[in-house]
């Protein structure tokens, strides 16, 4: 009888897994609504913690220009035709006023955060757009579930997926900001950023993310890397793979500034 019960349980797990494949064909026991709810909870936590996350105000002439510039990049990525959950996720971007932090991140459900430290560190719009595309790819490919599985284990994830622990979702949301992605996740996000930029209407360099890594190498900052480098500390390999991907799909690698748009230098001067 015990063996029969275990077999039924395993069949149940298989059924749940097969019914929870995402648009990439990967198994994900979270629903799209779970992603959206998790992202919303994290965004609310960030909004409520102005000390840790001093969000850049959206009022004032310079601030409005800054947000218009960075939201334009998000729009271009969304219009690349490569985003699986373009309509389902929020895809809202906020700037965190912290010049000492070289980082950006995107929660499940598409809430994007970019630090002024990263904005000021970079030299070209293509580079920032590449990093943002990388972070958006993590959300779009739903990589957070893989990371949460390693951090919290299957037991808690199944409780959340089956609705048996109403407080678990809130507890997991608190830990999303410190998740570390696998090397496979990071590589997929790098490759996706190349594809996003290759399809951008304004014709950006599709190797923008590689430009960021190259600057880290040149300035010797690889020992103090942002979170999205923490599980794969060799930027050289990532630069090589990004350039290989660019050559494979034949996308533009030259710098580009659309007509009528302010330069990246002018954008940085707004802060």
25-39, 179-193, 202-216, range with the lowest pLDDT: 25-39
Per-residue pLDDT at 97 exceeds 50:
yes
Share of the chain above pLDDT 90, in %: 47
Residue 7: pLDDT band with limits 50, 70, 90: very low
Residue 11 has pLDDT above 70, yes or no: no
Mean of pLDDT values over 183-193: 93
Residue spans of the domains in the chain: they are 2-268
CB-CB contact of 265 with 69 (8 Å): no
Give pLDDT tens digits for 17-54: 444 556 665 566 678 888 898 888 889 889 989 999 99
Helix segments in 102-207, DSSP class H: 116-121, 125-140, 144-161, 168-175, 183-198
Residue 229: DSSP 8-state: G
pLDDT in tens, 131-180: 999 999 999 999 987 777 777 776 776 676 566 666 666 666 666 667 77
Q: Which of 267, 255, 246 is nearest to 126 (CA)?
A: 255
Q: For residue 132, give the nearest of 104, 91, 97 by alpha carbon.
A: 104
Residue 223 has pLDDT above 70, yes or no: no
List the single range of 28-42, 64-78, 89-103, 225-239 with lowest mean pLDDT.
225-239
Out of 5-9, 123-127, 257-261, least confident range: 5-9
User: N- to C-terminal Cα distance for the chain?
Assistant: 68
Kindly state the tokens that stand for 20.
């929870």
pLDDT at 239 over 80: yes
Helix, strand, coil shares, percent, the chain, to 5 = 55, 5, 40
Local confidence band at 229 (pLDDT 50, 70, 90 cut-offs)? low
- Residue 101 DSSP label: -
Would you state the pLDDT for residue 39?
A: 87
Element (H, E) at 242: helix 235-249
């Amino acid at each position: 009888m015990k063996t029969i019960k275990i077999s039924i349980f395993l069949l149940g797990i298989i059924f749940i897994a097969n019914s929870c494949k995402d648009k990439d064909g990967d198994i994900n026991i979270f629903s799209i609504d779970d992603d959206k709810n998790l992202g919303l909870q994290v965004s609310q936590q960030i909004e409520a913690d102005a000390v840790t996350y001093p969000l850049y105000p959206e009022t004032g002439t310079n601030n409005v220009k800054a947000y218009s510039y960075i939201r334009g990049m998000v729009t271009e990525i969304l219009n690349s035709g490569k985003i699986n959950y373009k309509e389902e996720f929020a895809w809202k971007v906020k700037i965190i006023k912290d010049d000492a932090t070289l980082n950006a991140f995107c929660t499940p459900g598409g809430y994007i955060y970019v630090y002024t430290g990263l904005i000021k560190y970079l030299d070209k719009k293509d580079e920032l757009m590449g990093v943002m595309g990388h972070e958006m790819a993590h959300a779009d490919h739903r990589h957070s579930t893989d990371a949460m599985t390693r951090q919290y284990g299957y037991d808690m994830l199944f409780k959340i997926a089956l609705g048996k622990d109403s407080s678990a979702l809130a507890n997991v949301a608190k830990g999303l900001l410190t998740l570390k992605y696998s090397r496979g996740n990071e590589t997929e996000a790098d490759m996706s950023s190349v594809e996003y930029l290759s399809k951008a209407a304004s014709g950006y360099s599709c190797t923008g993310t590689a430009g960021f890594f190259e600057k880290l190498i040149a300035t010797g900052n690889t020992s103090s890397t942002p979170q999205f480098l923490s599980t794969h500390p060799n930027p050289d390999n990532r630069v090589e793979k990004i350039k290989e991907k660019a050559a494979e799909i034949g996308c533009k690698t030259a710098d580009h500034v659309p007509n009528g748009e302010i330069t990246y230098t002018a954008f940085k001067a707004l802060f």
